Amino acid sequence: MATRRVKQPRALRTRESIVQAAAQVFDELGYSGSSIAKIVERCGTTPGAVYFHFKSKEALADAVMEAQSRTVLPRLESQRLQRVVDATIVWAHQLQTDPLLRAGVRLTSERGTYQAHVGSPYETWVSILENDLDEAQRAGELQPGVEPRELAEFILEACTGIQMYAAATTRRNDLPVLVERMWRYLLPGVAVPAMITQVLTRSTWTLEPT
């Protein structure tokens, strides 16, 4: 039993190192340009170790896509509407530095080129944002008539378009600035006046990439 407890954390660390290596390769080469051999080389492990945890390149891509939210959510300490705004700001900064998130975004856009076996990350993000916006609505932070589900979808749609534009024009260098600008225009239409001032003065707006 003691041996099993020792091996489990080691196996989890190995799995995580494989996912991180796969993310780097997918981020650089895309799904079609990547291979198990390249991931093995990047990770410094063996093919057997990779196949012990993942039966195929598709399974590795699924794991990378599913990991997107954990690159953002653990960094959030706020609640309700502030948490929604902070999530997009953290996401914008992390996209500049985190291969795991960048690879997840790239793989999501390439889903038509291979058979994914997980639900769309878009659906995951909409659900996360909707839950926070539901709480914001109950707390009186949203204007009357704002539908949390519709607003969650709109935020995701806007952020997706903004990151594609930033990737094409500045290699995402100005992505946090563009997301901040989005909120400066969007908040007056969805939030009660008191929340606009509160949200725009939060320290997250000056968050530095890590």
pTM flag (> 0.95) = no
Is the Cα dihedral 125, 116, 95, 178 positive or negative? negative
State how far the Cα of 32 lies from the Cα of 38, in Å rounded to an integer. 12
Per-residue model confidence (pLDDT) at position 114: 74
* Predicted pLDDT at 90: 93
Give the phi and the psi of residue 142 in degrees, each rounded to 5.
-105, 150
Per-residue pLDDT, 86: 94
176 contacts 93 by C-beta, under 8 angstroms: yes
Phi/psi region, residue 172 (left: phi>0; alpha: psi -120 to 50; beta: rest), is: left
- The one-digit pLDDT tens for each residue of the chain (210 residues) are 444 444 578 888 899 999 999 999 999 999 999 999 999 999 999 999 999 999 999 999 999 998 888 899 999 999 999 999 999 999 999 999 999 999 999 998 887 777 766 667 889 999 999 999 999 999 999 999 999 999 999 999 999 999 999 999 999 999 999 999 999 999 999 999 999 888 877 645 444 443
Beta-bridged to residue 142, according to DSSP, are 191
- As a whole number of angstroms, the distance between CA 100 and CA 65 comes to 8
> Using a CB cutoff of 8 Å and minimum separation of 24, what contacts does 15-18 make?
15/53, 17/43, 17/45, 18/43, 18/45, 18/49, 18/50, 18/53, 18/54, 18/60
The whole-number pLDDT of residue 4 equals 45
**How far apart, in whole angstroms, are the C-alpha atoms of residue 89 and residue 87?**
5
* DSSP codes joined into one string, 74-111: GG----HHHHHHHHHHHHHHHHHH-HHHHHHHHHHHTG
Strand partners, 107: none
Q: Which 3 state secondary structure label does DSSP give 142?
A: strand
